[in-house]
Amino acid sequence: MHDPILDWHTSQIRVYYYRQVRHQLSIMRLFKAAATGLIALTSIGLVACQKSAPTSDKGASSQAGNVFETGKLRAVVLDNVLPMVDEKDGKYEGLSFVVLNAIRDQLKSASENKSDDIVIEPVSIKSAQDGLNKIRSGEADIACGVAFTWERQRTLTYSLPFATSGVRVLAPKGNDGTPESLKGKTIGVVKDTAAAAVLAKSVDDAQFQFFSTPTEALAGLKDGTVEFLGGDSLWLKASRQATAPDADLVPTFPYARSSVGCVVANTTPHLLNYSNLAIGRMLTAYVDDNKDVRTAVNQWIGPDSQVGLSENMIGDFFTIVLATTAELSKGS
């Protein structure tokens, strides 16, 4: 039986290959020159995620949302979407905020920064589509925890990924989550999400009940409005115990897999570069067994979390991401 979080691509062969060839790479220290075009991606999947950084600093800095001038990093948040976002009494935590904090710290040390401090300012939204539109319009600077799709990358600029996930279904025991087993069933999904689109294309004979937010969708599963809930595997895994502890996460292999990263607006010079720098350093620190970074990440997706990934699985995925970008060493 395969582990239900196969989305993390823990191929030991790929990791071994990377470690063997790592010393042969003659890549310049791109992560030490963030302001001059940080990432030269070699993986076709990551190239697709990466749009060009703003070519005109003047154009970006003229907008009201320039982080270096306002001291505010406006981050899109959509209620409680574990393991990415966990809100309690107005305080936000979660894996997305581990990443946002790293990006904020990187921006604070940037030579372009004119503010005394940079704080993360959560931007509440009504739906996933509303959040992406705020990025496109420049009403927000960044959103982290966004699944990659080819359609989205046409109008959104993606950072390096810091997670990978897939589309699955929480289903009653005995249902294996295949299209045949979902025939005639009603599946709850969050409107305008990548998962909803994937399931609609993959399961022809099912009905779909749309919810505006992840919180509403989980409530619908818990109160019996729907018996099946489709969505991102990490979200479903993190939410299962509190919502439907007896449900199975199916099928074994997801309907689709995608990287998960941040999307950035054209509001601030080199915001994409600094975001990539921060994410790259965070992934490297985890691989290098940095205690603080491991604790922060593991709290949300590690062995003792509801997601329950091993440190080796997380570290192997981070290693693969770094292998497609640049060679990093301790202290870089």
CA nearest to 127, candidates 214, 235, 233: 214
Mean pLDDT of 254-282: 96
Domains 6-163+259-323 and 166-250 alike in fold: yes
CB-neighbour burial class of residue 290 (10 A; exposed 0-12, middle 13-18, buried 19+): middle
pLDDT reading at 56 higher than 70: no
- Whether the Cβ atoms of residue 92 and residue 226 lie closer than 8 Å to each other: no
CA nearest to 159, candidates 275, 281, 320: 275
- Helix 291-301 to helix 233-243 angle (10° resolution) is 70
pLDDT reading at 190 higher than 70: yes
pLDDT reading at 29 higher than 90: no
- What integer pLDDT is reported at residue 326 of this predicted model? 56
- What integer pLDDT is reported at residue 193 of this predicted model? 93
pLDDT reading at 202 higher than 90: yes
Across 221-251, b (16+ Cβ under 10 Å) vs e yields beeeebbbbbbbbbbbbbbbeebbeebbbbb
- What integer pLDDT is reported at residue 275 of this predicted model? 97
Measured CA to CA, the distance from residue 321 to residue 315 in angstroms comes to: 10
- Terminal CA-to-CA distance of the chain, rounded, Å? 39
Find the range with the poorest average confidence among 71-85, 127-141, 313-327.
313-327
- What integer pLDDT is reported at residue 31 of this predicted model? 36
Measured CA to CA, the distance from residue 50 to residue 160 in angstroms comes to: 8
Under the banding of pLDDT at 50, 70 and 90, the label for residue 330 is low
Alpha helices by DSSP H, 12-108: 12-21, 44-49, 57-61, 67-70, 95-108
- What integer pLDDT is reported at residue 64 of this predicted model? 63
- What integer pLDDT is reported at residue 116 of this predicted model? 92
Mean pLDDT of 269-280: 96
pLDDT reading at 156 higher than 60: yes
pLDDT reading at 174 higher than 70: yes
Mean of pLDDT over the chain: 83
Secondary-structure class of domain 6-163+259-323 per CATH: alpha beta
- What integer pLDDT is reported at residue 89 of this predicted model? 87
Extract the tokens encoding 327: 């060679």
Mean pLDDT of 298-307: 98
- What integer pLDDT is reported at residue 80 of this predicted model? 84
pTM of the model: 0.81
More confident site: 326 or 148:
148
CATH code at 166-250: 3.40.190.10
pLDDT reading at 328 higher than 60: no
- What integer pLDDT is reported at residue 54 of this predicted model? 36
List the domain boundaries for the chain.
6-163+259-323, 166-250
Torsions phi, psi for 42 (to 5 deg)? -110, -15
DSSP string, 22-48: GGG-----GGG-GGG------SHHHHH
